[in-house]
Amino acid sequence: MKKIMVLGGNGFICRNLVSTLASGEDEIYSFDLNIPEQRLPNVHYMEGDFFDDYVLHNAVKGMDIVYHGICTLNPGNSNDKYMQGYTRDLVQTVKLCDMLRENNARMIFLSSGGTVYGKQEVMPIKENVLAKPINHYGNLKLCSENMIRVFNIQNNTDFRVVRISNPYGPGQDYHKGVGFIDAALKRGLAKEPVQVYGDGSVVRDYIYIQDVCNVLAYLGKNLGKHDIINLGSGRGTSMKEILEIVRRYIPDLQVEYLPSRSVDVPEIYLDNQRLLHLYPMELTPLEEGIKKYYMYLKEQ
């Protein structure tokens, strides 16, 4: 039995991850600013400020594995709040790595499989290409990755980076700046227009949230040999194609086209061969995942 902590346990990905990990035999801890109203009976919930050194040190002490999913930036706000990311998120992640080094604990860092890479000419994108982020969110993640790599080289730590593409599914909230599928389904069900930046040709790599959590849980015990791994579907899908799938369930879906944004890379989808060689289960096809999420939202 391992003691496993999820930092940022109230967030979209991490809340689902906590639930997935709790179905196993390990001792699971969820850390965030607040304890959620809905709690799982076999999870230890810890309330605290990630940016308080004393609180963080005591929280991670004795842990075997730590999933780091805390970030105060998102792609939409990072060009306004970038100093907060560099002076707080990055610095505190360095401190976290040093704490985990002292405790001989492993870490899985939840990075971005889209914004880290930036504009690339060859698709799908492999882990070993030169990352060229075009916004501060992606650059913040890349800075953290590079710092983690140096810890592994200089301090013989076992820290891994998972570059997650575009997850969707139960628990997501597009109001927080990400989640086109979430927005399309929820706004469609509410008879509100779906907002599309640009002409709908932007291509992304969408992956169902339960697949993300299953992979992360698996990697916690089967890390393999790679420091960095893409967690994506291996397939690129445009916003127009997403809208076509959603219209199968919401035929009267309305769309509002807005000016394109400088933070949006035109096309990103990830090569997931490294993942598929390691992970034994099949990933949920996009059409099936959207149907699952639609049915979930209808039942709520």
Report whether 285 contacts 141 (CB < 8 A). no
pLDDT on residue 223: 79
Q: For position 262, what pLDDT does the model report?
A: 76
How far apart (Å, rounded) are the C-alpha atoms in residues 110 and 113?
9
Q: Which pLDDT score, from 0 to 100, does residue 96 have?
A: 98
Q: What is the mean pLDDT of each run of 10 residues along the chain (300 residues)?
A: 97 97 96 95 97 98 98 88 96 98 97 92 96 94 98 97 98 91 98 96 97 97 90 97 98 96 85 95 97 96
Number of C-beta neighbours around residue 115 at 10 A: 27
Looking at residue 177, its pLDDT comes to 78
**What architecture (CATH level 2) is domain 169-204+235-266+285-299?**
Alpha-Beta Complex (3.90)
What pLDDT is stored for residue 200 in this prediction?
Answer: 96
Residue 75: its pLDDT value, please?
82
**Stretch(es) of the chain classified as CATH 3.40.50.720:** 3-166+207-231
Partnered with residue 197 across adjacent β-strands are 258
Q: C-alpha distances in angstroms, 275 versus 14, 159, 230, 265?
A: 20, 17, 7, 23
Closest CA to 127 of 107, 147, 144, 142: 142
Read off the tokens for 207.
């992956």
Which CATH topology does 3-166+207-231 take?
A: Rossmann fold (3.40.50)
Provide the pairing of β-strand 194-197 with 255-258: parallel
* Rounded Cα distance, 189 and 184, in Å: 8
Domain with CATH 3.90.25.10 in the chain: 169-204+235-266+285-299
Return the SS3 of 154.
Answer: helix
User: Which pLDDT value is given to residue 259?
Assistant: 94
Which tokens belong to 217? 């849980």
